[in-house]
Chain A
C-alpha cells in the first residue's frame, strides 16, 4: 500500500545545530508540504513543492529550507535550530487538482525538541 513516512518520530537537539527531518511518500504525488503544529495555532505551512526542483515558502518559512530532487522525498532542514522551533512537524502529499484531487495524506509527525 502507498504511504507517507516521516523520520525520525522524535528528536531532541541543541540550539544552533542543523537538523534534517525526512519525508518519503510512495503515492507518486506531485505536491508535498511541511507543516508545524503548535497549541493554539493549528497547522501552519512552512514550505511546499509542486514537483521536482520546485519549492515555495509558506507562512512560517524563516529558519527552514527544503529541496526536492525526486518525486518521493522532501526533506526539511532547520539551518540553526532555535527553541522557538520546538514543535510537531507534519509532512503531507497530494496528487494535485487532477479531477479535484487536492486531498492530502499526512505522515505520523515528528516531535522536535530544541534545548
Chain B
C-alpha cells in the first residue's frame, strides 16, 4: 500500500506564480523526501527533511513537515516552465531505508 498520498493530483498555474503540493503519510517516519520526474525520465531528488525538522529551504523550494498531522508540503516559488513535471514525496522509517512513494502531483506551468 502507498505510504504517501499527494494532493492535488494535478495542478496548473501561470509562470511566475507559486505552486504548493501536499503529501500525507500513514506511519511514523525517519525522513521525508521530495522527488521530481520529468516526462519519460527517472526521478531526481530535490530535498530531504528529517522527522525532527519542521522546515527546510533549497533555492526556490520550501518544504514543511508536520509530524503530528503526518503531512508535508512542497512550495515552489516563482515557478518556471522548466518546473513542469510530476512531484513525488517519499518516506523511510527508522531502521528501514527503503523508500515508499506517494502517487504524485502533476504540475503544469503555463508560460
Interface residues of A (CB under 8 A from B): 31, 33, 35, 40-45, 48, 50, 56, 58-59, 90, 92, 94, 96-97, 100, 102-109
Contact = CB atoms under 8 A, between A and B. Distances in A.
B21 to A, nearest CB: 13
Contacts of A42: 2, 88, 101-104
A73 B33 CA distance: 25
Interface residues of B, number: 25
Interface secondary structure of A, over-half rule? strand
A32 to B, nearest CB: 10
Given A42-B104, A100-B50, A48 B44 contact: no
Interface stretch (B64-72, B76-84, B91-99): B91-99
B1 interface: yes
B41 A103 contact: no
A109 B98 contact: no
A108 B41 contact: yes
Given A40-B103, A103-B48, 17 more contacts: A31-B97, A42-B104, A56-B98, A58-B98, A97-B97, A102-B33, A102-B48, A102-B99, A103-B33, A104-B43, A104-B90, A104-B99, A107-B42, A108-B41, A108-B42, A109-B40, A109-B42
